[in-house]
């Protein structure tokens, strides 16, 4: 899987939007961009994924740059429960990359 780069940590205020960036300059045309998060003492939780177009679901939005070399996970209104480590992962859509390869992610702190 291609490498991704994320900031080690970010802070946000409760009830404000959060934009979590991810750089993936070596992304290939067949790589999906996946986001997972891991709350303390819990397993990773699937958040969202996309290929080229921006994606929205009940948890978050994913904005993908036109050249696909970067993406941003958007939490529209942060809550204390959103404090977690957020992982941006590339995964080949052909399925040849069977497992997910986790990096160090971004530790999000939400301030009350």
Partner 1 sequence: NAGVMQNPRHLVRRRGQEARLRCSPMKGHSHVYWYRQLPEEGLKFMVYLQKENIIDESGMPKERFSAEFPKEGPSILRIQQVVRGDSAAYFCASSPAIGNTIYFGEGSWLTVV
CB of 102: closest distance to partner 1 in angstroms? 4
DSSP string for 19-87: EEEEE-TT--TTEEEEEEEE-TTS--EEEEEESSS-EE-SS-EEEE-TTSSEEEEEESS--GGG-EEEE
Cβ atoms of residues 95 and 47 within 8 Å: no
Burial class (CB in 10 A: 0-12, 13-18, 19+), 2: middle
One of 9, 13, 26, 46 touching partner 1 (CB under 8 A): 46
Q: Should residue 103 be labelled a site residue for partner 1 when binding is judged by CB under 8 A?
A: yes
Residue 49 in contact with partner 1, rule: CB under 8 A: yes
Site for partner 1 in 69-98 (CB under 8 A): 91, 93-95, 98
52 binds partner 1 (CB under 8 A): no
Minimum CB distance to partner 1 smaller for 28 or for 104: 104
d(CA 100, CA 54): 21
Q: Which of 42, 66, 67, 81 binds partner 1 (CB under 8 A)?
A: 42
- How many chain residues bind partner 1 (CB under 8 A)? 21
Residues that bind partner 1 (CB under 8 A): 36, 38, 41-46, 49, 91, 93-95, 98-105
């Amino acid at each position: 899987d291609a490498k991704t780069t994320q900031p080690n940590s970010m802070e946000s205020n409760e009830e404000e939007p959060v934009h979590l960036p991810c750089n993936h300059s070596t992304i290939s045309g067949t790589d999906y961009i996946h986001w997972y998060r891991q709350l303390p003492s819990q397993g990773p939780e699937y958040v969202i994924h996309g290929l080229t177009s921006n994606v929205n679901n009940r948890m978050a939005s994913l904005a993908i740059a036109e050249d696909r070399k970067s993406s941003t996970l958007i939490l529209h209104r942060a809550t204390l429960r959103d404090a977690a480590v957020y992982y941006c992962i590339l995964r080949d859509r052909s399925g040849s990359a069977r497992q997910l390869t986790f990096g160090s992610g971004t530790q999000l702190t939400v301030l009350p």
